[in-house]
Amino acid sequence: MSKKQILITGGAGFIGSHVVRRFVKNYPNYHIYNLDALTYAGNLENIKDIEESSNYTFVKGDITDEPFINSLFEKHQFDGVIHLAAESHVDRSITDPLAFVKTNVIGTMTLLNAAKTIWKDDFEGKRFYHVSTDEVYGALGDTGLFTEDTAYDPNSPYSASKASSDHFVRAYGETYGLPYVISNCSNNYGSYHFPEKLIPLFINNIIQEKPLPVYGDGNYTRDWLFVEDHAVAIDLVFHKGKNHETYNIGGFNEWKNIDLVRLLCQQMDEKLGRDKGTSEELITFVKDRPGHDLRYAIDASKINKELGWEPSVTFEQGLAKTIDWYLDNEKWLKNVTSGNYQNYYKEQYG
């Protein structure tokens, strides 16, 4: 039997690298194509351990490049697409919103069109999986949870672009019958997370004894999920999820930013052999993020009941693993913060 051809986009990024690793290792009967433009957030070091695998091919390319994407689909006749490539940082979306429209909306549309073209009306065994975020639902007050039926109400250019892409995926399902699944996940943390996001940025700053810039009063709440548990959920949704359905994925794990930062400081002081309270002194309250969403919290009971998924680690365990990974991989951290790896890619790929 010939191998299934699976396209994963954004596989050199944070979550994508964990998904690619899992699929390459667990599914020898698939050939995994990892398509990534290697933007500042993409790094081939994130998947170095699997790059020689016989069921794996890396393709450098941009999801907005229509002729390239069409020819890639034509050439490989993908059976499934797991789409993670995106501009993903809220703060960057505030300074450069158009970049988010281009990649997250136009890029997703380009992939949808290519899939629709090669699959024609024969959708048997085909699936387009769009990986999205809980931010599309907007902000919660002090109570309540996002369910799959919560109305979309995005507040940042990032979440608006992701919401738009979700709508297009659904529209392709309704209009053309494209077999899709969508998942909307809460904040991930873990290894290979680019140090512009809260947890890896603060780990890096604590190592270097730099200030920890907490936005506003720090009383914003996020629901944190260990990235490897997200990869397991993606695997389940891809294989067992129902067509035309959405699955919310979350950690059942809400933390106010300031409490999370204090826990991080405590764990890091212990691991670095510093006196208790040393890192907390680095906490600095700074100007708030415009349009800052107060609280996200996911009701993940659908994926739990229907697909049997649940997180495998507590936050304390996951955070400890994450800190250990960053302390053991200071070279990776130095490399991505110095920009050396970006120069390398420029030389290597033009």
Catalytic residue numbers? 134-135, 158
Distance between CA atoms of residues 183 and 249, nearest Å: 7
Positions 272 through 301 that interact with ligand DAU (CB under 6 A): 289, 296
User: Which residues are registered as beta bridge partners of 8?
Assistant: 34, 82
Q: How far apart are CA 207 and CA 318, in angstroms?
A: 19
Q: Stretches 120-128, 187-195, 211-219, 333-341: which one binds ligand NAD (CB under 6 A)?
A: 187-195
* Three-class SS state of 298: strand
Whole-angstrom CA distances from 20 to 48, 58, 80, 88, 134 are 11, 10, 13, 18, 22
- 46 is a contact residue toward ligand DAU (CB under 6 A): no
CB 282 within 8 A of CB 127: no
Is residue 33 within 8 Å of residue 20, measured between CB atoms? no
Residue 214 found at the interface with ligand DAU (CB under 6 A): yes
Task: Note the residue count of the chain.
Answer: 350
Could you say which of 32, 86, 112, 140 contacts ligand NAD (CB under 6 A)? 86
Give the binding range for ligand DAU (CB under 6 A) out of 72-80, 97-105, 196-204, 317-325: 196-204
Task: Considering only residues 149 through 178, tell me which ones interact with ligand DAU, judged by CB under 6 A.
Answer: none
Binding of ligand DAU at residue 257 (CB under 6 A)? yes
Size of the site for ligand NAD (CB under 6 A): 30
Whether 69 contacts 93, CB under 8 Å: no
159 binds ligand NAD, rule: CB under 6 A: no
Query: How many angstroms separate the CA atoms of 46 and 249, rounded?
Result: 23
Interface with ligand DAU includes 201 (CB under 6 A)?
yes
User: Do 114 and 69 meet the contact criterion of CB atoms below 8 Å apart?
Assistant: yes
Secondary structure element (H or E) that encloses residue 325, with its range: helix 315-328
By the rule CB under 6 A, 187 interacts with ligand DAU: yes
Binding at 80: pick from ligand DAU, ligand NAD, none (beta carbon under 5-8 Å per type): none
Q: Which of 33, 129, 220, 238 binds ligand DAU (CB under 6 A)?
A: 220
Point out which residues bind ligand NAD (CB under 6 A). Answer: 9-10, 12-16, 36-39, 41-42, 62-64, 84-88, 103, 107, 131, 133, 162, 185, 187-188, 194
